[in-house]
Amino acid sequence: SFNSLNHDMTLAEFKFIWYMEYSHRMWGRVVGLAYILPAAYFWRRGWLSRPLKGCVLALCGLVCFQGLLGWYMVKSGLEEKPDSYDIPRVSQYRLAAHLGSALVLYSASLWTGLSLLLPRHKLPETHQILRLRQYAHGTTALIFLTALSGAFVAGLDAGLVYNSFPKMGERWIPDDLLAFSPVLRNIFENPTTVQFDHRILGIASVTAVTALYLFSRKIPLPRRTRMAVTSLLAVACMQ
Cis omega before residue 166 (within 30°)?
yes
- Give the pLDDT band (50/70/90) at residue 60: very high
pLDDT for residue 6 is more than 80: no
Look at residue 84 in the predicted model and tell me its pLDDT: 52
Look at residue 118 in the predicted model and tell me its pLDDT: 85
Phi, psi dihedrals of residue 168, rounded to the nearest 5°: -105, 100
> Of 114, 104, 113, whose CA–CA distance to 141 is shortest?
104
Q: Map out the domains of the chain as residue ranges.
A: 1-88, 119-238
* Residue 37 to residue 227: CA distance in whole angstroms: 34
Look at residue 235 in the predicted model and tell me its pLDDT: 97
- Give the pLDDT band (50/70/90) at residue 63: very high
pLDDT for residue 51 is more than 80: yes
Handedness of CA 80, 81, 85, 90 (dihedral sign): negative
- pLDDT tens digit string along 153-162? 999 999 899 9
Phi, psi dihedrals of residue 206, rounded to the nearest 5°: -65, -40
Please, is 168 exposed, middle or buried when counting C-beta atoms within 10 Å of its C-beta (0-12, 13-18, 19+)?
buried
- pLDDT tens digit string along 111-155? 999 988 987 777 778 889 999 999 999 999 999 999 999 999 999
- pLDDT tens digit string along 28-45? 999 999 999 999 999 999
Look at residue 17 in the predicted model and tell me its pLDDT: 87
* Residue 170 to residue 232: CA distance in whole angstroms: 33
Structural contact between residues 192 and 162, judged by C-beta atoms closer than 8 angstroms:
yes
- pLDDT tens digit string along 64-90? 999 999 999 988 877 766 555 566 678
Residues 224-236: what's their mean pLDDT?
Answer: 95
- Number of other CB atoms surrounding residue 143 within 10 Å: 21
The answer to which of 8-17, 46-55, 200-209 has the lowest mean pLDDT is: 8-17
Mean per-residue pLDDT over the chain, rounded: 90
- Give the pLDDT band (50/70/90) at residue 58: very high
- pLDDT tens digit string along 173-184? 999 899 898 999
pLDDT for residue 57 is more than 90: yes
Structural contact between residues 157 and 89, judged by C-beta atoms closer than 8 angstroms:
yes
- Give the pLDDT band (50/70/90) at residue 13: confident
